[in-house]
Every structure is written in structure tokens, then in C-alpha cells.
Amino acid sequence: MTGHGHRRTRASGRSQLCGTGVAAKTSASVGAHLDVLYRDAWLCAVDKPQGILVHGDGGGATTLSELVARQLARECAVITRPQALQRLDVDTSGIVLFSLDRDTQEAFDALFARRLVRKRYLALVRGSFPAGERVVDLPLGRDRHDGRRMLVWSGGRPSTTRVRLLARQGQRSRARSLLLVEPLTGRRHQIRVHLSHLGFPIVGDRLYGAGAPGGLMLHALGISLTHPLTNESLDLSTLLPPRFVDVQPDLPELLGGLTGTASPG
């Protein structure tokens, strides 16, 4: 922890932007609490709750980008337009990185373009996933019959995902598997489509499987990169969402202490 409440190098858990949380008032999540995992002059990492858009979709809902900008202005007297460096689907929770300086954003964009940013996700899927680790290498393209969806097809863009089984529970139709997933490419809906195509749709995925009361069980848990401006190694992780710990109470032990556990609310 450095002098202004900013997290450097490895960061896991909750800190607040300039010491104060931001109340996210959106139609999907009134009163949601944004936790800032890291901030410096150029980069900010935020733990996005479910139900908040990263960018506007024309519907008028408050976005994560707007919430971060407001908090910077109010608490830190920093006037900026944060630019998200990667996207998360509205129902996916977890780490989103923001560039805070337009003049240096290109350096961060280049890391993603060169695939030098490592991303780790938690996913709870339907079915009994095979033990061990496997690499899924299946090309993805847009579904011509439904513009919301992506699908596996031979003419699509190369897409690669590494998947490791953490735990299994239940039998037959009630079987569920908890996975640690690392997308090695960054295609739209990549994790969701790859897992669904293999016969293991993510629990709560209304687009590629079936809905569930807890919503989409996909969380961007961790992200690692070398800061292009300071050359620091950043290994950022969130606390574990309660919806995952409720399903798998020993999840912190399964992850080897990679992250902590968030309390509800």
C-alpha cells in the first residue's frame, strides 16, 4: 500500500478510491458498491458488480465508466474521462481496467493487442467437467441469425481458452463444476461460447444456456500485467463473490490463497 491509498504490485481485496466507496445508482443495481483495487496516475482497476454496463448502450443507464469518473472528480479532484481497456458483459462481475490518461492509453492498449495481459475467471458450469486442465481451441464468429450471439464455426477468428477443473458436485442433471478459466484470446463471449459448445454452459447464462436465480456465474477474478510506464509487475485480484462461496465454501483453499472472500452487501 502506498501513500495515497493506492495499491501497487500485488493487490487483492478491497480498497476505496481516495478512501471512499462510490454508490452506483443503476436500474440493475441501486446502491451497489464499487471497490477500487488499484490506482495510479495512468491506470485504475475496479471490481465491477453484476448488472452494470461498462459502456453505454443507448438506454440511458448509468455506466461503470461514468461512476469511476464521478468518483475521481469528487474524491480526488481529478477531472478525467476514464477509458475502459477491456469489456465485461453486463452480467459478468470482476476486474475492469481503466486508462486515466489519454496520452498514455496507447501503451496499455498495446499490451492487450500483443496478448501480454493475463486474465483469470471463475465459472460455475452445468455438468461434470473432466478432471485436470485442457485448452479449447475453437474459432468464433457472429451468429448471422441472432446478432446477440457468437458461435463456433470454421470461418471464425482463432479463439483459445485454457480451462482447469477446481471442484465438482452433484450427479447427472444436478451436476455442477467450478472452473478456473483463462482466455488466451479476447473474443466476444469467448468463455461462454466455448464452454457451452463443449456441453458445459455457465449457470445462469440465458443466452447460451438457461437462466438461474443468482444470475450469470462468471467472475473476472484476476489480471496480471507489466505496467508499461513504471515497469512494475501488477498481479491484481478481487475478493471472492459471495455467490461463488455460497456454492463452494472451500473455494479460498482451492485457489491457494489467491484472493480473499467478500462479505455480502
Which are the catalytic amino acids? 89
Nearest to 40 by CA among 75, 82, 8: 8
Nearest to 205 by CA among 213, 195, 217, 194: 217
DSSP 124-153: EEES-PPSSEEEEE--EEE-TT-TT-EEE-
| Cα→Cα distances 246→9, 167, 242, Å | 29, 14, 6
The H or E element containing residue 242 is: helix 242-247
- Distance CA(41)–CA(198), nearest Å, equals 42
